[in-house]
Structures are given as structure tokens and as C-alpha cells.
Structure 1
């Protein structure tokens, strides 16, 4: 269902709720499903995002998620008005991005999206875990790890990688003696 949610009885997943009209705010909720233990809430409200910020990220998120779904032999999906079920791991990744952009200037969001795309899924999952532990609720904007996530707009990840690659190439061509600890040139 939706973005990779198993068609089983009450799976752990996220729901992205997109209201009608261009002014409504998009909300993301984590549904713990059958994994919820007695005495705890089975739904956690994770974030509410202004429509303009959602519009700025939605196409790239959909593209990234669909590429992963197709790579695993699953059907791609598209965002629609109403409830959009999202696989639990993809939902964690989406929260990392939405937490980063929830208070960001709109002109900086494309940089944050590029940096999010540059992260491996495991890195996004780790960031979700760190953030959700203390500041993962809908009312926690601007606190703890959510502040750190907002720094995703400061430096374009691909530019950092280009600088490192250029520096590495320059060092490789230098006539300096190299330390060869493992049988391979590590510089």
C-alpha cells in the first residue's frame, strides 16, 4: 500500500496526511501498529509542515522513495490528497528531512534536500533515532537534534565531496612519500 507499506494486519508505518487546498498543513504520524505495547500510544504525531515547505520537498522525496521501491520489486506510488501510507523506514527518513526544513527559509530548502539525498538510508535512520528519542514530537520544533538537522542547509554535500576529491587527487599526484599500511595507497 502507498509507499511500500505491507498489506498485513496493522503494520508499523507512517501516514502523511495532505489536506485539500493549498493552505492546509501537511502532517506526518507514526503508527506503531501491532508493535505498540499496552499502555502506550499507538500513534505518535511527528511533524506538521507548512504547505509551501511540503511543496518544496515532495517531488524529490517521491522520486527517491520510488527508486528504492522499484529496486526492491515494489510498485511506485505518488502523493495524493488524504492519507498516504509510508513504510516505517521510509517514514523515518521523511521525518529527518521534514524536521530539518520545518522552520527553514524556503530559498535554503533545495540545499537541505540535496544533502538529505546524499545521506545513505542508514544515516537517515540513525538521525531519526537520535532525534525521535528526545525531540521527535509535533511540538518539539527547534529543540535538540531538530536544531542540528536544520543545519543541513549550510553546506552543499556535493560541494564538500568535490573538494575532498580534488584534495585527494592533488595529494595523490604529489611526489611525497606515501604511507602504505594495508597494501593500498590510502591518500
Structure 2
């Protein structure tokens, strides 16, 4: 009786902890939609990020989409912060954290989309700007990253699309100016221009506190 009561009162996070996942939050089910980050043994080998559509794919020919190749130094520049951010999200949902390893690294489909946004931004970026891009990426909400992935993937989301369209836009959007500087300018302008102190500041995806 005691065990039944404990099971009934278990929190959602506690129930999620029981779930078995692979890598960064990929459900251990038959052919799930997810991403893979392939890290080669060679310290100079490029890191490849691919999307595996799983049961959602229309055919075996479209089941895997290679999204981006990153030079090893660029991957090294982003891997630690990405791992920390992903593990924080997984922990909140009661899922086990993970770490990047040589070989295949499974990544949850939503986290994989977010990773692609950062990888696309830094793939041809001046290395000195990559820390700025990482900070700006961290400042984005998940929904904003998903939206950016969707817009980029529609036309320039393949491994051979570097330097085109939205890929270039991401490079400039994340790497040119730190979000903290943009926020400071926006706040100063708001105080100068605002005639009503109760006027809300508009955000692309609504109230940032939601």
C-alpha cells in the first residue's frame, strides 16, 4: 500500500527520471526523430551534425539529413557551453545529463535544432567572435532557436549550404553585437522615448517572463 501511494504522489520530474534516454535526452524507443553529433577520433577531423527523421521520414533516402560540418577548433569553442545548457534543461525535466564523447552522440530533436542554429552561425565566423555568438545563443529562448532553425532549414539547411541566405544571417545576428549591448541600447532608448512609464516593451515571442 505504501509503495502504491508513493507512486501515485511521485512528481512529474520523478516519473520522467524513470525513463531511459540515450545521449542528450533521446528516448530509447524504436527509431525516434533525433540528431546525432559525430565526433571523430582525429583531433583535426570535422564534427558532423545530422538529423535522423526516424519513423517520420517519407523514405529511406530522406531519413537522414546532414546539417553541418564544423572544423574542430570551432566545435571546441562551443561544446562546453552547449553541454552545460543542454544538461541544465534535461535536469529540469528529470532526465539524465550527458557528455560529448568520441563517436556518435544522440541529441534530442529539439535540442538538436537549437545546436544547429549555433553551429550554422559559427561555421564560417571569425573565431574571435565565437564567444559572442555563444553568449547570444544562450540568451535566446528555446522557441526562438526553434524558429530560427525552421527558417534556415527550409532553404539552406544542408551540409553544403554554408555561406548562403539564412546561414549568413545567423552569422551576423549572433556574432556581430553582444545581446547585452543591444539590450542596454534598447533600455536607454526606451527611457528617453517613453512618455508613459507603464508602456510595455515588445518582444518577438511575447513576454520574456512567460
TM-score normalized with structure 2 length: 0.80
> How far 1:100 moved relative to its partner?
0.4
User: Residues 5-84 of structure 1 correspond to what in structure 2 (within 5 A)?
Assistant: 5-38=26-59, 40-84=61-105
Unpaired runs of 5+ in structure 2?
1-21, 201-210
> How far 1:40 moved relative to its partner?
4.5
- Among candidates 93, 96, 106, match of residue 85 of structure 1: 106
Which secondary structure state, in structure 1, belongs to the residue aligned with residue 50 of structure 2?
A: strand
Paired with 1:82 and 1:28, the residues of 2 have a C-alpha distance of 12
Q: Runs (4+) of structure 1 moved beyond 4 Å?
A: 169-172
Q: Does 1:160 align with 2:173?
A: no
Structure 1 pair 160–43 and aligned structure 2 pair: CA distance change class (3 A): same
Q: CA RMSD in A?
A: 1.6
Unpaired runs of 5+ in structure 1?
179-183
TM-score normalized with structure 1 length: 0.90
Q: Deviations over 1:25-66 (max 9, x none)?
A: 000010000111236410000001000000000001001111
Match of 1:185 in 2: 198
Instruction: Report the number of matched residues.
Output: 178
> How far 1:105 moved relative to its partner?
1.2
Q: Deviations over 1:109-160 (max 9, x none)?
A: 0011111111111111011011111110000000110010110211100111
User: Residues 105-184 of structure 1 correspond to what in structure 2 (within 5 A)?
Assistant: 105-151=126-172, 152-169=174-191, 178=196
> How far 1:10 moved relative to its partner?
0.5
